[in-house]
Amino acid sequence: MPQAPPRYPAAPPPASGTDHRRVVLVGGGLVGLTLALDLARHGVAVTLLDEEDSVATGSRAICFAKRTLEIYARLGLGPRMLEKGVTWQTGRVFHGAREAFHFDLLPEAGHEYPAFVNLQQYHVEEWLVEACQAAGVELRWRHRVAGLAPEAAGVTLAVETPQGPYTLRADWLLACDGARSAIRRALGLPFQGQVFQDRFLIADVVIRGEVGFPAERWFWFDPPFHPGQSVLLHKQPDDLWRIDFQLGWDADPEAEQQPARVAARVRAMLGPDVPFELEWVSLYTFRCRRLDRFVHGRVVFAGDSAHQVSPFGARGGNGGVQDADNLAWKLAAVLNGSAGPGLLDSYEAERIAAAEENILHAMRATDFITPKSDHARAYRDAVLDLAADHAFARALVNSGRLSRPAVLAESPLNSADQGGWAGGAPAGAAAPDAPVLCEGQPDWLLRHLGGDFGLLLFDAPDFPTPPGLRPVHVAAEARPGALWDHSGLAAARFGAMPGGAVLLRPDQHIAARLAMPDPVAVRAALERARGGGGLVP
């Protein structure tokens, strides 16, 4: 069994009983800690409140997608996650005892990070706490928000601690306090969407030695060890396996979480001769819903406090981390005066679009996994039967569309392609990675992008980059001061021709593509990417 999570000391309330902070963040989970760290790296002082004094228990969000790993690489945690986690890219779908088909989530080489890394959430949260402490984030454990009063220029919070209450004034309040958000309830903000009538059991199971399952995602429809339902299996570090059992809506939540009953389900799956230990058990239902708006004056919602989706597609934690990635640089720009307040409107526009995309795919997966009628079940079973031999049927199987970064195609920050750019990652997409050589040493392109606005220049060494932009030169041949695209993958993935330029946002999303750039056009694209109201040097 793992060691108990560390306990963090509770900060005392201010002696005066009142306090003021520029940015207050509520929620010390995965999303809140990520957002706090990103803001700190942008030079923003953050005070984080959490009513607990430790990180999460249980595996919870375990599937960290490639884009999320790239975000954590920018924040300094990517290599650690890659070293500790279980890397996988293959998924297998079974119908009964027979494999229906398998798929590869990252069929092409030339990326620093894999399709997915499985890693218990509590490991990542512990590392985030350490990183936040090193970055100067003020962490206030055991500080619970008991009430709030929003105003035009900020929010007043009533905070309770073990040593007494106090009042905290925040210019900006960031709500990252999860699915049961106290901030959302205090503001009376309802979710719109759907809660599906089905229940799923999570079992974290420790299995020593060989177990017969590789480091892949295995999903069963109607397996012989759990007939009529579905089961999902993932391998984690430290001999830990995550198993999700579909139970049905009529299942008794309390009875199903009893260790003896959970152990019986696991034993039926593994066989009578495989020893195991139960580490953690939980129950959940599918929820596909979101707030109507994510920005309410000086209160901004991110992660599960803003949107919830079914976990089978590995979107919840990944989507929340991408919320943080989107919000941090924008709020920092507003606070440091390099952009107007309207830039935060783009956070809402972009992340609502991403949430809608995730919800749509989650609902489709839920309908396939849990058919609502005999006709729907007959259709699903026929698709699964055909999938083993027919490619067209495999495209119809839906065991959860695994997390992909949203392409922010309709973002108000994007500029139209200039100069007949064709092919490659479009405006709004996250920048693709590629291997490069830096001063003769193997490197990766994304290590040189993000954190601030950058201009990726392909074989354009003499381009006069406007102030406020960091130039990143990429060349088809070895050249001093440029990254050498020795494989040609960087140019191919961006669809770039010699002399072209790509404007990158601080979150590594593409804002503009210019086949034949000039300083005036680049400056206009930068102004638009800053929300149109920025103070461009």
> Exposure of 391 by Cβ count < 10 A (0-12 exposed, 13-18 middle, 19+ buried)?
exposed
Using a 10 angstrom Cβ sphere, with 0-12 exposed, 13-18 middle and 19 or more buried, the burial of residue 342 is middle
pLDDT at 296 over 70: yes
Q: Decide if 525 is inside a domain.
A: yes
Q: What is the mean pLDDT of residues 322-336?
A: 97
Please report, to the nearest 10 degrees, the dihedral formed by the alpha carbons of residues 311, 314, 317, 321 taken in order: -150
Same domain membership, residue 159 and residue 45: yes
| Claim to verify: residue 347 and residue 487 sit in the same structural domain | no
* Cα–Cα dist 461/51, whole Å: 53
44-86 residue pLDDT tens: 999 999 999 999 888 788 899 999 999 999 999 999 999 999 9
Of 297, 318, 351, the last residue of a domain is 351
Residue 362 lies in a domain: no
Residue 58 has, within 13 A of its CA and on its CB side, a CA count of 13
Name the DSSP class of 115.
S
- Residue 2's pLDDT is 55
Last residue of a domain, one of 351, 378, 404: 351
What is the C-alpha to C-alpha distance for residues 443 and 432, in angstroms, rounded to an integer? Answer: 14
Q: Which two tokens stand for residue 427?
A: 């405006």
Residue 403 scores a pLDDT above 70 = no
Question: Does residue 397 lie in a domain region?
Answer: no
Q: What is the mean pLDDT of residues 201-229?
A: 91
On average, the pLDDT of the chain sits at 92
Looking at the chain, the whole-number percentage of residues with pLDDT higher than 70 is: 97
Does residue 182 share a domain with residue 312? yes
CATH number of domain containing 60: 3.50.50.60
**pLDDT at residue number 392:** 92
In this predicted structure, which of 167-171, 196-200, 321-325, 511-515 has the lowest mean pLDDT? 196-200
What is the mean pLDDT of the segment spanning 183-204?
A: 92
Give backbone dihedrals phi and psi of 536, rounded to 5 degrees, phi first: -75, 130
Torsion, Cα 214 215 216 221, to 10 degrees, reads 60
**pLDDT, tens digit, 9 for 90 and up, residues 468-510:** 899 999 999 999 999 999 999 999 999 999 999 999 999 999 9
pLDDT at 461: 87
Domain edge (last residue) among 351, 371, 395: 351
**Which pTM was predicted?**
0.94
Domain match, 339 and 441 both: no
Q: Which of 321, 322, 400, 345 shows the shortest CA–CA distance to 368?
A: 400
Q: State the Cα torsion 354-356-359-361 to the nearest 10°.
A: -80
Note whether 77 and 173 are same-domain residues: yes
Domain count across the chain: 2
Please indicate, yes or no, if residue 313 is contained in any of the structural domains: yes
Residue 536: band (very low, low, confident or very high) from pLDDT cuts 50, 70, 90: very low
Non-local (6+) Cβ contacts of 287 within 8 A are 179, 193, 194, 195, 196, 308, 309, 310
Residues 394-410 have a mean pLDDT of: 83
Model pLDDT, residue 537: 32
Across residues 286-315, what is the average pLDDT? 86
330 pLDDT exceeds 80?
Answer: yes
What local confidence, expressed as pLDDT, does residue 476 receive?
A: 96
For residue 484, give the CATH number of its domain.
3.40.30.120
Rg value, the chain, Cα: 24
Side by side, the strands of the sheet bearing 277-284 are 98-104, 90-95, 217-221, 230-236, 240-246, 200-206, 277-284
Please check the confidence at residue 534 and state whether its pLDDT lies above 60: no
452 falls within a domain: yes
Can you read off the two tokens belonging to residue 84? 């500790």
Pairwise CA distance, residues 250 & 396, whole Å: 28
In which domain, by residue range, is 503 found?
435-529
Residue 181 located in a structural domain = yes
381 domain residue, yes or no = no
pLDDT computed for residue 1 by the predictor: 43
Question: Among candidates 354, 333, 320, 452, which has minimal Cα distance to 35?
Answer: 320
372: confidence class by pLDDT, cuts 50, 70, 90: confident
Residues 485 and 346 in one domain: no
| Backbone angles phi and psi of 491, in degrees to 5 | -65, -40
Give the pLDDT score at 212: 76
Residues 56 and 158 in one domain: yes
Tell me, yes or no, whether 142 lies in a domain: yes
pLDDT band at 311 (very low <50, low <70, confident <90, very high): low
Give 105 or 330, the one with higher predicted confidence: 330
